[in-house]
A and B are shown apart, each in its own frame.
Chain A
Amino acid sequence: MIELATLLSALRERFAAAVEAAADERALDEVRVAYLGRNGEVTTIRRSIGKLPPERRPGAGKEINDAVAVMEALLQERHAQLEARDVEASLEQRIDVTFLGTPPQFGSLHPVRRVIEDACGYFERHGFAVVLGPEVEPDYYNFDALNIPPEHPAREGFDSFWVNDSLLLRPHTSPMQIRTMQLHPPPVAIVAPGRCYRRDAVDARHLFQFHQIEGLLVASGVHFGHLKGMLTGLCRTLFGAYQQVRFRPSFFPFTEPSAEVDTTCPKCGGRASACSMCGGSGWIELGGAGMVHPNVLREVGYDPEVVSGWAFGFGAERLALVRYDVDDVRRFVDGDPDFFEQLA
């Protein structure tokens, strides 16, 4: 019988060569199974120990175990080598990262809502509440309570849709001033976004329905400068950090003093002379504003000698046109997926 030591030595050498030759983890595992597996060569040798005289058996067992330890170490070493090589190789992989990302099932918010949400969010951060109200309103809320009595020429300027003698589609969100102040004592700080209607023929600049964002702050010590401050912040929220705001005198029956509010043209930064958005003036008209008329405060039971307030009303479509550089207001009601996706 060949000496066990010689046998093991030869086995180890063959094993070492096989391990060395194994090119991947699978081949390496095959080697492991062939030598160290349940029916591997080492098992065959172990079984042969039984034929030895009993006094030699423990020594032989130890020899085999030592050999197995060496072989397992080789296996481990080769495994580490192969793993390192695979990691190395994987670092060489290159994919086309410009390939189209898998689109998620995600919708979009309408640009008009986004403008309204951003504006309302700004005011909410400053302690204002956001209130909503009906679109069909009595003339009392639309006009009388806002210092526009019957026969006042300003009524005509609103060119409203009427349902009957006293009900109309609100031409502005200002009724919410009255509704809110009649429900709450001062201080009142609200914004009221919502749909309004005027009898404008539809063209690139007009729809007969539009959204307005109304703002109202009434408390003691409120002045015109606060209006300028808040609206400057609003314009910076909507259009960019460097926006300026300009007030021009104007007239509204429900405010005195009254102002038209302009902001620097965000497209040309107030510089270009051939700007398509501002027509070269450098300014964009946003809407009306002013200090709440004492008659309006009195109508809701406030004392104009004790509290003062301001209000403004901007068109949301107008804000969205400017913010997103949209050329035609009719696109807002077209339901065109391309429009939604571009502005999403």
Chain B
Amino acid sequence: MRIPISWLREYVDVPAESQAIAERLAMLGFPVAEIVRRPAIENVVVGRISSLERHPNADRLNLCRVDAGADAPLTIVTAATNVAAGQVVPVATIGARLPHLQIERRTMRGIASEGMLCSPDELALPPEWFEADGIMQLDAESTPGEDVVALLGLADDVLDVEITGNRVDAMSVIGLARELAASYRVPLRLPSFENPGRGEPEPLARVALESSDCSHFVLQRFDGLRATLGAARTRVRLALCGVRPINNVVDVSNYVMLETAQPLHVYDATHVAEQRLIVRDARPGERLLTLDGIERRLTPAALVVADEQGALGLAGVMGGAASEVGAQTTAILLEAATFAGARVRRTAQLFGLRTEASTRHEKSLAPALAEIAASRAAQMLLGMGARAYAPVAAGEQATPRAAVSRRRDDVTRLLGITLDDARIAGDLTALGCSVVASDGHLEIGAPAWRNDLAIAADFVEEVARMEGYDAIVAAMPTVASHEISSREYELEAGAARTMCALGYHETITYSLLGARSDNAVELRNPLSEDHRYLRTEIAPALLAQLARLAHPYRLFEIGHVFADEGGLVAETPVLAFAVAVERSGEPPWRDVEFLRCKGDIETLVRVLTGRRPRVERAERRGLHPGKCAALLVDDVPVAAFGRVDPREERAYAAPFALYAGSIRLDRLPEPLVPRYRPPSRYPSTYRDLALSVGAEVSAESVEATTTQAIGDICTAVRVFDEYRGPQVERGRKSLAVRATMRRFDGTITDEEADAAVARAVEALHKRLGATVRV
């Protein structure tokens, strides 16, 4: 909210420096987003045009005699067309400083001009909100010679203050003035909140609340009004707050809203049937032309203020054109109501409207503000010559809430600082609370205009704000032992560190994707079509990042994937990786990079689980059907990886060979603690075998068969080379196998080793059709 400091000063004495005020507000919980500096304006005074005549030498210039408080009237030449004798206007005297120019004595077509009449633009006011056609008009009763800059607050800074949602009462000049007065412990100068309205109008003004979403409604009638230009200072203050001046009556309602936070609405009384307002749900199909000139079709979701004939306005949001206060208006009905915040918000959303009134109403105002605001508006309208009738109220009366009885040690308990009762009471009463200390307890009552103070912690926060949050002393807690496990996090952190050690770089990609895949969860309100679905896998995004690179690289990401399972969302933590490497000219039956990926993923699973995963051929969407494998731990598939399907690889247009895989972190079992077995004290021996086997025989089956046939003395069996080609029969391949053997109770003999290998050769032949090559 924009607050001119000059307006604040009307109620409270604050430091001269805007920066100091901004800092204090921030430490009270109202950060200042911006200090809007006004341009320097000097020596502009009130002038009354006593006479006006055509410039003798120029048709388009006027010659004004202006009483600007000096002994002799000033002669001023102006090109403005909206000037007339009797007007009171701002006059920049010789030497005056305006935003874009300095006023000097100037001769215009032979006549010396002793100053300049100022347009709104020249006073750094938005001309489209003021006299767009020329000179700004001041109030007729202003004193010639008075300093216009001070009078209107033209040169004072404006604070753009952020107000948290719980403090709608502080979305106002008085609200913030009260905070500053309490904080600085200086007096708050409030205007009178005595309602001057007397007597009853004929017919009686009445309100009927037909919806529970309006708890309180103050209605007051004023007669004898004429809608004209609003008072200059009111108009300037509204404009500095970002509110467009309309006319003197509407301006009062907006002015009081900015001052008290309570939005007001004025109806032309002649357009309210029987002077009776009704708050109710809109009727289906009901139509309303709102003040912004748009005809709106209503539904019962909208709350309206209506008369017998139909809706007059959207409650708390915007009035209707039919009852608008305009040039013909002589009598008005003033509304100060308390609507349910949620209902106003829904009504505003329904029509995509956001107004100064709705932003306040939707935060649910305290009912007491309605009386305060009506009284303030009545004072101002009375000052404009209106006749004010007594207000009528409907709904619950604004009753003070019951005091909260609290333990004396609340402040110490929650803040860790110790304050005595008098100090606490001082802090709270400065904000308008009532405090009575009694027998170990404090009875605290919230001020009527606050709706956010209900429980002990609320009052503790008020004490903390008054003391300043800087008064809270930093201390280290002693954390008692507990049994909450960090296992999932440690698993992720361990996985990330291992991948890093394996040469992979961690990246982050979006969880929201544009392409729909099977079982993808769809968002109801996506930001854009590019991010409509939750990802079901991560690897494609990693491959897309790799495809943009000009060199080989390895990426991984740890994150969640999502699947729609019959309306429920299944969410799984996974680690995905992708690899781009130079294409190699390898034979179709060999893929070294596949084996490197396999080594990486096996290592990862072993580090995380303490187990060696089993690897078997698999098929996965997106991966090459012949170069894809699954890893199993205790027969549970935990991972899959492989060469990217060449058809998909082409789509990435990467100059590299791509590999990808993913691991389900949720399926990894608790890590197994490895057990140590001391090595044999006796040397081991090995035998190498050259085998010819069918092309489809797996290395793993050769190793397993050999290991089993050798028996206890076997330490390791490894297929360490594979060859296919001219030297090998079609449909077969040649494998080189090394079997290592040893005994724990003595040195193994050559005869033993040879016998074991002979057993293996026989078994390999029988089970796998292997023959020994010579």
| A134 and B534 alpha carbons, distance in the complex (Å) | 13
| A250 and B548 alpha carbons, distance in the complex (Å) | 44
Chain B residues with Cβ below 8 Å from A112 are 508
Most buried by B among A106, A152, A157, A163: A163
Q: A113-B506, A124-B486, A229-B474 are in contact. Are A135 and B560 (CB under 8 A)?
A: yes
Contact of B560 among A120, A134, A188 (CB under 8 A): A134
Chain A residues with Cβ below 8 Å from B166 are 251
Q: A135-B560, A226-B475 are in contact. Are A120 and B413 (CB under 8 A)?
A: no
| A226 and B477 alpha carbons, distance in the complex (Å) | 5
Q: A132-B492, A136-B571, A335-B555 are in contact. Are A110 and B415 (CB under 8 A)?
A: no
Asked if residues A224 and B416 are in contact (CB atoms below 8 Å), the reply is yes
Does A5 count as interface, using CB distance less than 8 angstroms? no
Chain A residues with Cβ below 8 Å from B477 are 126, 217, 219, 222, 226, 229-230
Distance in Å: Cβ of A195 to nearest Cβ of chain B: 7
Asked if residues A256 and B476 are in contact (CB atoms below 8 Å), the reply is no
Does B482 count as interface, using CB distance less than 8 angstroms? yes
Q: 1/0 contact trace for B253-271 toward A, CB 8 Å?
A: 0000000000000000000
| A256 and B413 alpha carbons, distance in the complex (Å) | 13
Residue of A nearest to B27 (CB): A248
| A209 and B531 alpha carbons, distance in the complex (Å) | 11
Which residues of A, 134-150, contact B by the 8 Å Cβ criterion?
A: 134-136
Asked if residues B505 and A340 are in contact (CB atoms below 8 Å), the reply is yes
Asked if residues A209 and B510 are in contact (CB atoms below 8 Å), the reply is yes
Does B499 count as interface, using CB distance less than 8 angstroms? yes
Residue of A nearest to B503 (CB): A105
| A120 and B492 alpha carbons, distance in the complex (Å) | 13
Does B472 count as interface, using CB distance less than 8 angstroms? yes
Does B342 count as interface, using CB distance less than 8 angstroms? yes
Asked if residues A337 and B414 are in contact (CB atoms below 8 Å), the reply is no
Does B695 count as interface, using CB distance less than 8 angstroms? no
Distance in Å: Cβ of A165 to nearest Cβ of chain B: 9
Q: 1/0 contact trace for B154-170 toward A, CB 8 Å?
A: 00000000001111000
| A120 and B506 alpha carbons, distance in the complex (Å) | 18
Chain A residues with Cβ below 8 Å from B571 are 134-136
Asked if residues A110 and B506 are in contact (CB atoms below 8 Å), the reply is yes
Does A79 count as interface, using CB distance less than 8 angstroms? no
Does B639 count as interface, using CB distance less than 8 angstroms? no
Distance in Å: Cβ of B656 to nearest Cβ of chain A: 14
Asked if residues A223 and B414 are in contact (CB atoms below 8 Å), the reply is yes
Asked if residues A224 and B554 are in contact (CB atoms below 8 Å), the reply is no
Q: 1/0 contact trace for A239-269 toward B, CB 8 Å?
A: 0000001111111000011111000000000
Asked if residues A256 and B461 are in contact (CB atoms below 8 Å), the reply is yes
Contact of B164 among A108, A195, A229, A250 (CB under 8 A): A250
Distance in Å: Cβ of B270 to nearest Cβ of chain A: 37
Q: How many residues of B contact A (CB 8 A)?
A: 91
Q: A132-B492, A251-B165 are in contact. Are A195 and B527 (CB under 8 A)?
A: no
Does A162 count as interface, using CB distance less than 8 angstroms? yes
Chain B residues with Cβ below 8 Å from A190 are 484
Q: 1/0 contact trace for A64-86 toward B, CB 8 Å?
A: 00000000000000000000000
Asked if residues B486 and A130 are in contact (CB atoms below 8 Å), the reply is yes
Asked if residues A110 and B507 are in contact (CB atoms below 8 Å), the reply is yes
Asked if residues B505 and A107 are in contact (CB atoms below 8 Å), the reply is yes
Asked if residues A132 and B488 are in contact (CB atoms below 8 Å), the reply is yes
Distance in Å: Cβ of B411 to nearest Cβ of chain A: 10
Does A333 count as interface, using CB distance less than 8 angstroms? yes
Chain B residues with Cβ below 8 Å from A260 are 31
Asked if residues B503 and A248 are in contact (CB atoms below 8 Å), the reply is no
Does B420 count as interface, using CB distance less than 8 angstroms? no
Chain A residues with Cβ below 8 Å from B189 are none
Chain A residues with Cβ below 8 Å from B551 are 337
Which of B87-95, B463-471, B624-632, B709-717 contacts the other chain?
B463-471
Q: A249-B29, A294-B455 are in contact. Are A333 and B473 (CB under 8 A)?
A: no
Q: 1/0 contact trace for A212-243 toward B, CB 8 Å?
A: 00000101001111101110110000000000
Does B562 count as interface, using CB distance less than 8 angstroms? yes
Does A322 count as interface, using CB distance less than 8 angstroms? no
Does A21 count as interface, using CB distance less than 8 angstroms? no
Which of B518-526, B583-591, B758-766 contacts the other chain?
B518-526
Asked if residues A251 and B167 are in contact (CB atoms below 8 Å), the reply is yes
Contact of B521 among A136, A248, A250, A308 (CB under 8 A): A136
Asked if residues B523 and A163 are in contact (CB atoms below 8 Å), the reply is yes
Contact of B479 among A110, A161, A219, A308 (CB under 8 A): A219
Asked if residues A294 and B524 are in contact (CB atoms below 8 Å), the reply is no
Chain A residues with Cβ below 8 Å from B505 are 107-108, 337, 340
Most buried by B among A117, A190, A228: A228
Does A164 count as interface, using CB distance less than 8 angstroms? yes
Asked if residues A291 and B414 are in contact (CB atoms below 8 Å), the reply is yes
| A167 and B476 alpha carbons, distance in the complex (Å) | 38
Asked if residues B496 and A163 are in contact (CB atoms below 8 Å), the reply is no
Asked if residues A208 and B560 are in contact (CB atoms below 8 Å), the reply is no
Residue of A nearest to B359 (CB): A153
Asked if residues B474 and A228 are in contact (CB atoms below 8 Å), the reply is yes
Does A318 count as interface, using CB distance less than 8 angstroms? no
Chain A residues with Cβ below 8 Å from B559 are 195
Asked if residues B484 and A199 are in contact (CB atoms below 8 Å), the reply is no
| A201 and B531 alpha carbons, distance in the complex (Å) | 11
| A228 and B468 alpha carbons, distance in the complex (Å) | 14
Contact of A162 among B499, B525, B546, B548 (CB under 8 A): B525
Distance in Å: Cβ of A331 to nearest Cβ of chain B: 10
Asked if residues A249 and B27 are in contact (CB atoms below 8 Å), the reply is yes
Does A56 count as interface, using CB distance less than 8 angstroms? no
Chain A residues with Cβ below 8 Å from B506 are 107-110, 113, 340
Most buried by A among B489, B531, B534: B489
Does B345 count as interface, using CB distance less than 8 angstroms? yes
Distance in Å: Cβ of B522 to nearest Cβ of chain A: 8
Q: A249-B28, A333-B510 are in contact. Are A257 and B165 (CB under 8 A)?
A: no
Does B686 count as interface, using CB distance less than 8 angstroms? no
Does B186 count as interface, using CB distance less than 8 angstroms? no
Asked if residues A180 and B484 are in contact (CB atoms below 8 Å), the reply is yes
Q: A136-B571, A209-B512, A230-B477 are in contact. Are A129 and B482 (CB under 8 A)?
A: yes
Contact of B500 among A106, A187, A201, A259 (CB under 8 A): A106
Residue of A nearest to B498 (CB): A107
Residue of A nearest to B569 (CB): A136
Q: 1/0 contact trace for B482-498 toward A, CB 8 Å?
A: 11111011101100110
Does B511 count as interface, using CB distance less than 8 angstroms? yes
Does A171 count as interface, using CB distance less than 8 angstroms? no
Residue of A nearest to B490 (CB): A130
Distance in Å: Cβ of A245 to nearest Cβ of chain B: 7
| A133 and B460 alpha carbons, distance in the complex (Å) | 33
Chain B residues with Cβ below 8 Å from A117 are 493
Contact of A249 among B345, B469, B473 (CB under 8 A): B469
Chain B residues with Cβ below 8 Å from A132 are 488-489, 492, 573
Which residues of B, 22-67, contact A by the 8 Å Cβ criterion?
A: 26-29, 31
Does A172 count as interface, using CB distance less than 8 angstroms? no
Does A189 count as interface, using CB distance less than 8 angstroms? yes
Does A3 count as interface, using CB distance less than 8 angstroms? no
Does B363 count as interface, using CB distance less than 8 angstroms? yes
Asked if residues A153 and B341 are in contact (CB atoms below 8 Å), the reply is yes
| A151 and B501 alpha carbons, distance in the complex (Å) | 49
Residue of B nearest to A105 (CB): B503
| A120 and B458 alpha carbons, distance in the complex (Å) | 31
| A110 and B507 alpha carbons, distance in the complex (Å) | 6
| A222 and B416 alpha carbons, distance in the complex (Å) | 8
Closest 5 CB pairs of A and B: A249-B29, A225-B416, A335-B545, A257-B461, A127-B479
Give 7 A-B contacts (CB < 8 Å), ordered by A residue.
A109-B506, A127-B481, A164-B524, A208-B510, A223-B415, A249-B461, A251-B164
Interface residues of B (CB under 8 A from A): 26-29, 31, 164-167, 341-342, 345, 362-363, 412-417, 455-458, 460-461, 464-465, 469-470, 472-477, 479-486, 488-490, 492-493, 496-497, 499-512, 521-527, 531, 534, 542, 545-546, 548-549, 551, 553-556, 559-560, 562, 567, 569, 571, 573
